[in-house]
Amino acid sequence: MRDINWVALIVFVLLFGFITWLGFAAAHWRRGDLDLLNEWGLGGRRFGTLIAWFLIGGDLYTAYTFIAVPALAFGTGALAFFAVPYTIIIYPILFIVFPRLWSVSHKHGYITAADFVRGRFGNRWLALAVTLTGIVATMPYIALQLVGLQVVIGGMGFVGEGWVGDVPLIIAFVILAAFTYSSGLRAPAAIAIVKDLLIYITAFAAIIVIPIELGGFGKIFAAVPAQKLLLAVPQGNTTGAYGAYATLALGSALALFLYPHSLTGILSASSSHAVRRNAALLPAYSFMLGLLALLGFMAIAVGVDKLPEYAQGFALFKANFAVPALLLHTFPSWFVGVAFAAIGIGALVPAAIMSIAAANLFTRNIYREFFRAQCTDRQESQMAKWVSLIVKLGALVFILFVPTQYAIQLQLLGGIWIIQTLPAVIIGLYTRWFNAWALLIGWAVGTVLGTIMAASVNFAAMYPLAIGGWTFPSYIALSTLVVNLIVAAVLTPVFNAIADKAKDETLASDYAM
Amino acid sequence: MQSTKPDHGWNWWYLLLLAQFVPALWVPFYNSVEPTWIGLPFFYWFQLVLVFICAAVTAFVYWITEASQQQ
Neighbouring C-alpha atoms within 13 Å toward the C-beta of A193: 14
Q: Over its length of 513 residues, how does chain A's per-residue pLDDT go in tens digits?
A: 457 888 888 898 999 899 899 888 888 887 788 888 888 888 888 899 999 999 999 888 888 888 889 999 999 899 999 999 999 999 999 999 999 999 999 999 999 999 999 999 999 999 999 999 999 999 888 888 888 888 888 888 776 666 667 788 888 888 888 989 989 999 999 999 999 999 999 999 999 999 999 888 999 999 999 889 898 888 888 888 899 999 999 999 999 999 999 999 999 999 999 999 999 999 999 999 999 999 999 999 998 888 888 888 888 888 899 999 999 999 998 999 999 999 989 888 899 999 999 999 999 999 988 998 888 888 888 999 999 999 888 888 888 888 877 888 888 899 999 999 999 999 999 999 999 999 999 999 999 999 999 999 988 888 888 888 888 888 999 999 999 999 999 999 999 998 777 788 888 888 887
CA distance A438 to A444: 10
CB A416 within 8 A of CB A454: yes
DSSP string, A255-322: HHTTSHHHHHHHHTBS-HHHHHHHHHHTHHHHHHHHHHHHHHHHHHHHTGGGSGGGHHHHHHHGGGGH
SS3 A124: helix
Return the closest-CA partner of residue A99 out of B42, B61, B30, B27.
B61
- What is the 3-class SS of A400-431, one letter each residue? HHCCHHHHHHHHHHHHHHHHHHHHHHCHHHCC
pLDDT over 90 at B67, yes or no = no
SS3 content of chain B, % helix, strand, coil (to 5): 60, 5, 35
Contacts of B43 in chain A (CB under 8 A): 78, 81, 229-231
DSSP string, A180-212: HHHHTTHHHHHHHHHHHHHHHHHHHHHHHHHHH
Chain B CB within 8 Å of residue A204 CB: no
Contact B32 A219 (CB under 8 A): no
> Which residue of chain B comes nearest to A85, CA vs CA?
B24
Specify the pLDDT at position A308: 86
Interface probe, candidates B10, B13, B16, B27, chain A, greatest A C-beta count within 10 A:
B27
CA of B29 vs chain A CAs: smallest distance (Å): 10
Could you tell me the pLDDT band of residue B71, with boundaries at 50, 70 and 90?
low
CA distance A118 to A114: 6
CA distance A431 to A71: 41
CA distance A186 to A465: 45
Chain B CB within 8 Å of residue A430 CB: yes
Interface probe, candidates A89, A294, A475, chain B, greatest B C-beta count within 10 A:
A89
Specify the pLDDT at position A162: 64
Q: Which residues is B37 bridged to in the sheet?
A: B40
CA of A480 vs chain B CAs: smallest distance (Å): 19
Could you tell me the pLDDT band of residue B3, with boundaries at 50, 70 and 90?
very low
Considering Cα of B10, then B11, then B14, then B16, what sign does the dihedral take? positive
Q: What is the pLDDT of residues B15-51, one digit of tens each?
A: 999 999 999 999 899 998 889 899 899 999 999 999 9
CB A126 within 8 A of CB A424: yes
CA distance B69 to B71: 5
Specify the pLDDT at position A8: 87
Specify the pLDDT at position A31: 78
Phi and psi dihedrals of A435, rounded to 5? -80, 140
Buried b (16+ CB within 10 A) or exposed e, A311-328: ebbbebbbbbbbbbbbbb
Return the closest-CA partner of residue A22 out of A200, A198, A175.
A175
CA distance A281 to A100: 19
ipTM value for the complex: 0.90
Contacts of B27 in chain A (CB under 8 A): 231, 241-242, 245-246
Return the closest-CA partner of residue A61 out of A83, A91, A94, A89.
A83
**How many angstroms from the chain centroid is the CA of residue A54?**
15
Contacts of B55 in chain A (CB under 8 A): 91, 280-281, 283-284
CA distance A443 to A63: 30
Q: Which amino acid is it at A349? A: V
Could you tell me the pLDDT band of residue B4, with boundaries at 50, 70 and 90?
very low
Specify the pLDDT at position A161: 60
When CB atoms are compared, the residue of A92, A245, A508 closest to B58 is A92
Return the closest-CA partner of residue A177 out of A342, A403, A397, A367.
A397
